[in-house]
C-alpha cells in the first residue's frame, strides 16, 4: 500500500484545504507495472471521510486534461459521481457517458473502439446502492443495453463491462472491505489528511489566547481520536470554530478538548437561529424542522446512507428554504454535478444529528421502552453489533455525551424544555448489559463503554453505571485510552480484577514530529506521562482491586518505574500481579523491590519474560527477604536452563512463604530436577504446588521426584504434563504413591506417553492411596484395556479419587460398561471428563445405566466431541430425569439434530434434575429449539446453557493456572 498526504493552505476554506496534493507524483505511478510486470487496471483511493479523496479524484482529471498526467495511457477520461448517478433511472452505458460529454455530438464509436485507453473515475463507492450478488448472474457486458444503474456500475467495477478500461475508485476506509469483494487485482493508495506538523502549525495560528495556547495544543495532540479527526480539513475547521466560540464564552478549553460532544454541540447550537419573540430558544415549528432533519440523519446512519436527494427531504417534510432559515450556514451542503444531491459537512456531523434525534424524540414521548430501543437493542449481542459499525459507534458515544450536564444545559436553553429522566435510564441499561456478562465482553466493548461514559463527565452517572462491574478487560492502544480508563476505573467501586493490554504508547511517535513547530519555552512534558501516572495511582488506591493483569503489555523502563512506585503505596490492595508475555525486561529491578515492600502481593506471574542470570539473582534476593510475602511464583517459558535450578533450589529452602512454583516450558531436564528434589526433601521447604510441564523430563528424573514425594509431607500438587515419562517413569512415581507417607493430592500427567502398562501401575497405586483425589491422564493412548484396569481400582472403596480427566485417551464404547459400574459404585468420584473419545451412542447407552441412579456421587460429566447422535437422546433424557446428583454436563461438539435436543429439553427442565451448567452451543440450532432451551432457563433461572463449560469452576480443576 502506498501513502501520500494532502497539503492544506494557510486560509480556512475547507475545499482549498483538501485540494492540493503534497506528493502528486505518487499518482503518476499508479498504473505503472510492478516488479513482476503486473499493471493494475483498478486503483483504489481510500481514507477517512472528508480527507480529500474526491478533491484528489477531480485533480486527477484536471492534470490529465492539461496533459500532465497519463498523457500516453488514456485518450478519454470520465468522472462518475456516485451520488449523482444514484438518482438516475435505467440507462445504457452509452447514455451514461454521453451525459458527461461537453458537446451534443458524442463520438461514441471512437471512444469505445479502444477501451484500453479509457479511464473512469468513480467517486464515492460507499454511496452506490449496488445490489451485489454472489452469483453475478445479473451483470451486463453490452454497453448499449439499458439496465438499472446498480447493474451498470457493478458490471463496470467487476470488469464485465469494458474489462480493458482503467478505473480510479474513491472509498472510505470503512467501505474497503465491501469493495474488495467487487474489484479485481486493485492497487490501493491511502489518502492521508493534513500532516501532524501542519495541523500543529494551524492550531498555533488559530488560537489567539497565548495563555491557553500551549494547554489547548497539548490537550488536542494527546487526544489521539480528536487530533486524528483533525487531519480531515472539514473536521479541523469545525473543531477550530467550536474552540473559538467556547474561548469567546470564557470556558476552560483544555478540558473541553477532551469531550467531542461538547465541541459539536457548541458548533451546531451556534448555527441554529431561534426565531421566537425572545430569540433565546427554538419555536415549536423550528423544533419540528430540526427533529425531521435529525431523523433523516439517523435513518441515514442506520442505513449507511450519506448522500441525500430532494426526495429524501420531501419524505421528511423538509425544504431547502426551511433548512436555510434554521441554520446560519448550510450544514447540509449541495454536492455533485448540478447540485442534485446533498451531504453533511462531514459524516461525523450527521452522526451527531442522529444522536440528537433520539433526544428530540424523547422530549415528546414519556413511555417505556424509550425510542432508543426502536432498533430493538435489548440484548448484549445486539448492542455489540453497534460497535462493529463505526458510524453507529460514534452515534452511541454522542448519545452519552448529550447527557453531560453542561451540554444538557445548552440544549435545554436552545430547545426550551428539560431532558426527561428516562433518557438516562435507557443508557444505563446499555452499560449494565456489559457488566452483567463481563466474561463474554471483549476489550473493545469495555473500552467503547468507557469512552461513552467519559463523554458524560457525570461522576454520579458513571458510578451508578459501573456499580455492577467486578472484572474489566481493556486494550490500551492510544494515549487517550489512559485518560478515559483512569476516569472510569476510579468509579468501578466493586472492581476486583482488571486485565490491561498496554501497547507501545510510551515510545516516540509522530507526536514528536510536531515538536519543532512549538516555540521554545512552550514545550512541556507530554500528557501521556501524567495520564499513565494517574492510571497507576487509580490502580494502587482502589479499595477492592485484588488482581492486576498486564499480560502482553509493552512497558518501558519509565512505565515500569512509575507503576512500581505506585504499587508500593500502603493503599495498594492488589494481591495478584500478572505479566504474562509482557515486555518489561528493563523494569524488572523495580518490580522485585515492589514485591519486598508491598506485603499484599501474594501471586506473581512472569510467564514469557526472558530472565538472565542476574535477573534470577534478583529473584532469589527478593524471595529470601524477610519482608517478602509472595506465596506463588510462575516463571513459565522464561528461558531458564538446568543451571538455574541450583539457585531456584536455594529459594525453595529459604523462601518459607513460597507455596507454589511453576517452571513450565523451561529446559529443566533430569539434571535440574536433582537439586530441586534435594530442596523438596529439606525440612525448611514449605512448597505445596510444583509445576514442571514441558521441562524435558524423562524417566531418569522420576527417581528423584519419587524420593522427594516420600520425604516431603507438604507437597500436595504435582504437574508433569508434556514430559516423555513413559511407563517406566510412572512406575517409579507409583512406588511413592502407594506409600502412606506420600501426601500428594493432585497429579497431572497429560501427554506423558502413558499406555496400558502405565495404567496397571496407576491402578495398583490408586487402590492403596487415600490422599490422591485428582488425577488427569488426558492425551495419553490408554485405550479401553487401560481404562478397564483403572475402573477396577477406582471402584474399590479404598480409592478416594474425586476428579478424573480422560480427554482424548483413545476410549470407545467397549470400556463404557466398566465406567458405568464406576459411576454406580464409587462413593467419591465427583468429576469425570471423557471429551474427545469415540464413545458413540452405544457407549452413551451404557453410561446412562449408571446415571439412572438417583443418589450418586458424580456431579460433573464431560462428553464433548464423543460422537454422540440423536439416537442416544431418549436414553440420556431418561437418565437425566432420574439423576439428582449431576449438576454439570458438557454435550458440545456432538451430532445432535434439533429433534434430539428437543428430547433432552424436558429432562433439563425436570423437577428431579439439578443440572446447573449445560455445555451446548445454542446458536447452531433453529429458533424453535433455542426457544425451548430459553424456556428451560426461564423455568430454572440458575441454569446456564452455553459454550463456556470449561470456564466454570476453573480454579478447582486447573489449580496450576492460579
Per DSSP, the residues of 574-600 read --EEE-TT-B-GGGHHHHHHHHHH-TT
CA triple 218-222-223, angle to 5 deg: 115
Max distance between CA atoms of the chain, in angstroms, equals 105
- Helical axes 645-654 vs 669-681, angle rounded to 10°: 10
Lowest mean pLDDT among 453-467, 516-530, 669-683: 516-530
Residue in 399, 413, 308 with CA at minimum distance from that of residue 355: 399
Local confidence band at 606 (pLDDT 50, 70, 90 cut-offs): very high
Residues 6+ apart with CB under 8 A from 417: 363
Q: Is 216's pLDDT higher than 70?
A: no
Local confidence band at 591 (pLDDT 50, 70, 90 cut-offs): very high
- The 10s digit of each residue's pLDDT in 743-775 is 999 999 999 999 999 999 999 999 888 899 999
Residues 6+ apart with CB under 8 A from 351: 297, 301, 391, 394, 395, 398
**CA–CA gap between residue 652 and residue 692 (Å, rounded):** 15
Lowest mean pLDDT among 503-517, 679-693, 715-729: 503-517
- The 10s digit of each residue's pLDDT in 266-303 is 888 888 866 554 557 888 888 899 999 999 999 888 87
Residue in 718, 725, 713 with CA at minimum distance from that of residue 692: 718
Local confidence band at 196 (pLDDT 50, 70, 90 cut-offs): confident
**CA–CA gap between residue 697 and residue 712 (Å, rounded):** 20
Lowest mean pLDDT among 105-109, 237-241, 317-321, 744-748: 237-241
Residues 6+ apart with CB under 8 A from 393: 386, 387, 448
**CA–CA gap between residue 785 and residue 811 (Å, rounded):** 9
Q: Is 59's pLDDT higher than 90?
A: no
Lowest mean pLDDT among 363-377, 620-634, 774-788: 363-377
Residue pair 547/576 in contact by the 8 Å Cβ criterion: yes
β-pair partners for 1: none
Q: Is 524's pLDDT higher than 50?
A: no
Question: Strand, coil or helix: what is 705?
Answer: helix
Residue pair 756/782 in contact by the 8 Å Cβ criterion: yes
Question: Strand, coil or helix: what is 792?
Answer: helix
What does the pLDDT read at residue 517? Answer: 52
Strands 166-172 and 118-123: parallel
DSSP codes, 17-77: HTTEETTTHHHHTTTS--TTS---SEEEEEESTTSSHHHHHHHHHHHHHTTSSSTTT-SEE
CA triple 550-553-554, angle to 5 deg: 140
Q: Is 480's pLDDT higher than 80?
A: yes
Helices (H), 795-830: 816-825
Local confidence band at 906 (pLDDT 50, 70, 90 cut-offs): very high
DSSP codes, 264-297: HHHHHHHHB---SSSSSS--HHHHHHHHHHHHHH
Residues 6+ apart with CB under 8 A from 797: 827
Question: Strand, coil or helix: what is 547?
Answer: strand
Could you give phi then psi for residue 206, rounded to 5 degrees?
A: -75, -40
Residue 667 to residues 202, 437, 576, 638, Cα–Cα distance (Å): 58, 40, 26, 10
Residue pair 182/133 in contact by the 8 Å Cβ criterion: no
**CA–CA gap between residue 759 and residue 765 (Å, rounded):** 10
What does the pLDDT read at residue 371? Answer: 45
- The 10s digit of each residue's pLDDT in 912-943 is 999 999 999 988 999 999 999 999 999 999 99
What does the pLDDT read at residue 3? Answer: 36
**CA–CA gap between residue 558 and residue 581 (Å, rounded):** 19
Per the omega criterion (within 30 degrees of 0), is the bond before 369 cis?
yes
Question: Strand, coil or helix: what is 451?
Answer: helix
Lowest mean pLDDT among 343-352, 633-642, 774-783: 343-352
Tell whether pTM > 0.85: no
Residue in 894, 777, 770 with CA at minimum distance from that of residue 832: 777
Residue with the bigger pLDDT between 154 and 85: it is 154
Q: Is 643's pLDDT higher than 60?
A: yes
- Sign, CA dihedral 143-146-148-149, equals positive
- The 10s digit of each residue's pLDDT in 341-363 is 788 888 888 999 999 998 888 77
**CA–CA gap between residue 740 and residue 298 (Å, rounded):** 74
β-pair partners for 45: 170, 189
- Is residue 635 within a helix (H) or strand (E), and if so which, with residue range? none
Q: Is 21's pLDDT higher than 80?
A: no
Local confidence band at 817 (pLDDT 50, 70, 90 cut-offs): very high
β-pair partners for 919: 890, 946
Residues 6+ apart with CB under 8 A from 927: none
Mean pLDDT of the chain: 84
Q: Is 225's pLDDT higher than 80?
A: no
The burial of 515, by beta-carbon neighbours within 10 Å (0-12 exposed, 13-18 middle, 19 or more buried), is given as: middle
SS (HEC) of 729-771: HHHHHHHHHCCCCCCCCEEECCCCCCCHHHHHHHHHHHHCCCC
- The 10s digit of each residue's pLDDT in 239-266 is 777 777 777 776 655 455 567 888 888 8
**CA–CA gap between residue 399 and residue 452 (Å, rounded):** 8
Lowest mean pLDDT among 52-61, 228-237, 389-398, 761-770: 228-237
Residue in 420, 419, 405 with CA at minimum distance from that of residue 461: 405
Residue with the bigger pLDDT between 116 and 512: it is 116
What does the pLDDT read at residue 8? Answer: 34
Length of the chain: 962
Residue pair 943/916 in contact by the 8 Å Cβ criterion: yes
Q: Is 131's pLDDT higher than 70?
A: no
CA triple 570-575-581, angle to 5 deg: 120
Strands 774-776 and 76-81: unpaired
- The 10s digit of each residue's pLDDT in 837-884 is 999 999 999 999 999 987 789 999 999 999 999 999 999 999 999 999
**What's the chain's Rg over C-alpha atoms?**
34
Q: Is 888's pLDDT higher than 80?
A: yes
Local confidence band at 129 (pLDDT 50, 70, 90 cut-offs): low
Residue with the bigger pLDDT between 813 and 333: it is 813
Percent of the chain at pLDDT > 70 equals 85
Other Cβ atoms closer than 10 A to 898: 14
Q: Give the residue-averaged pLDDT of 656-667.
A: 95
SS (HEC) of 861-893: EECCCCCCEHHHHHHHHHHHHHCCCCCEEECCC
Q: Give the residue-averaged pLDDT of 529-538.
A: 93
> What secondary structure letter does DSSP report for 2?
E
Q: Give the residue-averaged pLDDT of 601-627.
A: 92
Q: Is 610's pLDDT higher than 60?
A: yes
SS (HEC) of 882-930: HCCCCCEEECCCCECCHHHHHHHHHHHHCCCCCCCEEECCHHHCCHHHH
**CA–CA gap between residue 843 and residue 868 (Å, rounded):** 9
Q: For the sheet containing 341-344, what is the strand order?
A: 308-309, 341-344, 332-335
Residues 6+ apart with CB under 8 A from 652: 658, 661, 676, 679, 680, 682, 685, 687
Local confidence band at 951 (pLDDT 50, 70, 90 cut-offs): low
Residue with the bigger pLDDT between 177 and 600: it is 600
**CA–CA gap between residue 604 and residue 634 (Å, rounded):** 6
- Is residue 535 within a helix (H) or strand (E), and if so which, with residue range? helix 527-541
Residue with the bigger pLDDT between 272 and 944: it is 944
β-pair partners for 272: 327
Residue in 188, 98, 87 with CA at minimum distance from that of residue 143: 98
Terminal CA-to-CA distance of the chain, rounded, Å?
Answer: 44
Question: Strand, coil or helix: what is 662?
Answer: strand
What does the pLDDT read at residue 70? Answer: 87
Amino acid at each position: 500500500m502506498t501513502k501520500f498526504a494532502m497539503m492544506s493552505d494557510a486560509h480556512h476554506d475547507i475545499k482549498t484545504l483538501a485540494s492540493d496534493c503534497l506528493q502528486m507524483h505518487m499518482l503518476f505511478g499508479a498504473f505503472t507495472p510492478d516488479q513482476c510486470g503486473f499493471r493494475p487496471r483498478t486503483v483504489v483511493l481510500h481514507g477517512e471521510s472528508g480527507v480529500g479523496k474526491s478533491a484528489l479524484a477531480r485533480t486527477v482529471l484536471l492534470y490529465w486534461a492539461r496533459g500532465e498526467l497519463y498523457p500516453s495511457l488514456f485518450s478519454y477520461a470520465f468522472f462518475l459521481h456516485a451520488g449523482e448517478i444514484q438518482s438516475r433511472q435505467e440507462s445504457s452505458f452509452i447514455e451514461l457517458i454521453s451525459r458527461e460529454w461537453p458537446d451534443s455530438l458524442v463520438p461514441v464509436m471512437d471512444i469505445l473502439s479502444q477501451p484500453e485507453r479509457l479511464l473512469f473515475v468513480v467517486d464515492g463507492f460507499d454511496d452506490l446502492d449496488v445490489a451485489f450478488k454472489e452469483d453475478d448472474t445479473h451483470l451486463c457486458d453490452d454497453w448499449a443495453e439499458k439496465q438499472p444503474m446498480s447493474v451498470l456500475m457493478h458490471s463496470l467495477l467487476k470488469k464485465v463491462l469494458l474489462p480493458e478500461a482503467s478505473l480510479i475508485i474513491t472509498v472510505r476506509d470503512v467501505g474497503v472491505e465491501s469493495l474488495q469483494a467487487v474489484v479485481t487485482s486493485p492497487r490501493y493508495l491511502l489518502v492521508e489528511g493534513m500532516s501532524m506538523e501542519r495541523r500543529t502549525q494551524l492550531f498555533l495560528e488559530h488560537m489567539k489566547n497565548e495563555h491557553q495556547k500551549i494547554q489547548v495544543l497539548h490537550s488536542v495532540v494527546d487526544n489521539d481520536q480528536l487530533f486524528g479527526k483533525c487531519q480531515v480539513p472539514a473536521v479541523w475547521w469545525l473543531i477550530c470554530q467550536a474552540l473559538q466560540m467556547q474561548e469567546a464564552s470564557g470556558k476552560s478549553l483544555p478540558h473541553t478538548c477532551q469531550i467531542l460532544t461538547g465541541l459539536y454541540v457548541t458548533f451546531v447550537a451556534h448555527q441554529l437561529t431561534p426565531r421566537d419573540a425572545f430569540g433565546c430558544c427554538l419555536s415549536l415549528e423550528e423544533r419540528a424542522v430540526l427533529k425531521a432533519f435529525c431523523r433523516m440523519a439517523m435513518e441515514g446512519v442506520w442505513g449507511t446512507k450519506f448522500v441525500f436527494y430532494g426526495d429524501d427531504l420531501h419524505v421528511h417534510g423538509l425544504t431547502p428554504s426551511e433548512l436555510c432559515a434554521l441554520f446560519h450556514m448550510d450544514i447540509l451542503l449541495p454536492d455533485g454535478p448540478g447540485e442534485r444531491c446533498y451531504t453533511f459537512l462531514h459524516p461525523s456531523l450527521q452522526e451527531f444529528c442522529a444522536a440528537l434525534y433520539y433526544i428530540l424524540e424523547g422530549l415528546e414521548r414519556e413511555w417505556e421502552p424509550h425510542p432508543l430501543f426502536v432498533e430493538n437493542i435489548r440484548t448484549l449481542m445486539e448492542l455489540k453489533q453497534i460497535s462493529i459499525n463505526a458510524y453507529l459507534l460514534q452515534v452511541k458515544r454522542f448519545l452519552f455525551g448529550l447527557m453531560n450536564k453542561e451540554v444538557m444545559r445548552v440544549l435545554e436553553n436552545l430547545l426550551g424544555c428539560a431532558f426527561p429522566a428516562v433518557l438516562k435510564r435507557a443508557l444505563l441499561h446499555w452499560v449494565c448489559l456489559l457488566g452483567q456478562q463481563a466474561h463474554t465482553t471483549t476489550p473493545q466493548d469495555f473500552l467503547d463503554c468507557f469512552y461513552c461514559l467519559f463523554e458524560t463527565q457525570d461522576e454520579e452517572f458513571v458510578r451508578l453505571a459501573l456499580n455492577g462491574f467486578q472484572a474489566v478487560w481493556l486494550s490500551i492502544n492510544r494515549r487517550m485510552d489512559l485518560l478515559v480508563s483512569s476516569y472510569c476505573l476510579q468509579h468501578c467501586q466493586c472492581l476486583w480484577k482488571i486485565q490491561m493490554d498496554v501497547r507501545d504508547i510510551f515510545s516516540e511517535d509522530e507526536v514528536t514530529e510536531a515538536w519543532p513547530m512549538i516555540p521554545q519555552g512552550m514545550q512541556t512534558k507530554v500528557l501521556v506521562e501524567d495520564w499513565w501516572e494517574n492510571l497507576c495511582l487509580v490502580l494502587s488506591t482502589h479499595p477492592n482491586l485484588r488482581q492486576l493483569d498486564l499480560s502482553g503489555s509493552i512497558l518501558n523502563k519509565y512505565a515500569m518505574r512509575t507503576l512500581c512506585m505506585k504499587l508500593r503505596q500502603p493503599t495498594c490492595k492488589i494481591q495478584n500481579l500478572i505479566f504474562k508475555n509482557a515486555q518489561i525486561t528493563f523494569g524488572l529491578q523495580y518490580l522485585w523491590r515492589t514485591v519486598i515492600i508491598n506485603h499484599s502481593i501474594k501471586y506473581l506471574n512472569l510467564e514469557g519474560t526472558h530472565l538472565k542470570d542476574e535477573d534470577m539473582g534478583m529473584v532469589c534476593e527478593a524471595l529470601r527477604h524477610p519482608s517478602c510475602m509472595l506465596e506463588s511464583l510462575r516463571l513459565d517459558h522464561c528461558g531458564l536452563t538446568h543451571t538455574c535450578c541450583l539457585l531456584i533450589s536455594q529459594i525453595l529452602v529459604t523462601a518459607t512463604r513460597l507455596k507454589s512454583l511453576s517452571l513450565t516450558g523451561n529446559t529443566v531436564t533430569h539434571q535440574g530436577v536433582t537439586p530441586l528434589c534435594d530442596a523438596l526433601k529439606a525440612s525448611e521447604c514449605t512448597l505445596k504446588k510444583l509445576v514442571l510441564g514441558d521441562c524435558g523430563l524423562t524417566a531418569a528424573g522420576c527417581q528423584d521426584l519419587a524420593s522427594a514425594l516420600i520425604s516431603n509431607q507438604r507437597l500436595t500438587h504435582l504437574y508433569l504434563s508434556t514430559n516423555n515419562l513413559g511407563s517406566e517413569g510412572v512406575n517409579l512415581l507409583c512406588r511413592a504413591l502407594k506409600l502412606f507417607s506420600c501426601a500428594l493430592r493432585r497429579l497431572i500427567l497429560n501427554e506423558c506417553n502413558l499406555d496400558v502398562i502405565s495404567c496397571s501401575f496407576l491402578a495398583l497405586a490408586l487402590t492403596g492411596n487415600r490422599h490422591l483425589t485428582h488425577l488427569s491422564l488426558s492425551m495419553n493412548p490408554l485405550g479401553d484395556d487401560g481404562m478397564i484396569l483403572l475402573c477396577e481400582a477406582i471402584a474399590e472403596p479404598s480409592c478416594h479419587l474425586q476428579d478424573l480427566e480422560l480427554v482424548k485417551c483413545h476410549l470407545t464404547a467397549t470400556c463404557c460398561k466398566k465406567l458405568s459400574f464406576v459411576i454406580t459404585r464409587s462413593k467419591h468420584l465427583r468429576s469425570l471428563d471423557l471429551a474427545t473419545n469415540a464413545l458413540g451412542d452405544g457407549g452413551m447407552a451404557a453410561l446412562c445405566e449408571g446415571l439412572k441412579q438417583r443418589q450418586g456421587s458424580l456431579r460433573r460429566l464431560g462428553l464433548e466431541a464423543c460422537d454422540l447422535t440423536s439416537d442416544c437422546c431418549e436414553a440420556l433424557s431418561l437418565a437425566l430425569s432420574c439423576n439428582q446428583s449431576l449438576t454439570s454436563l458438557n454435550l458440545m461438539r456432538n451430532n445432535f439434530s434439533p429433534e434430539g435436543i428437543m428430547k433432552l429439553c424436558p429432562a433439563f427442565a425436570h423437577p428431579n434434575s439439578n443440572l446447573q451448567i449445560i455445555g451446548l452451543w445454542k446458536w447452531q440450532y433453529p429458533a424453535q429449539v433455542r426457544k425451548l432451551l430459553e424456556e428451560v432457563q426461564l423455568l430454572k433461572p440458575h441454569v446456564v446453557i452455553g459454550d463456556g463449560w470449561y470456564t466454570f469452576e476453573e480454579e478447582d480443576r486447573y489449580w496450576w493456572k492460579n
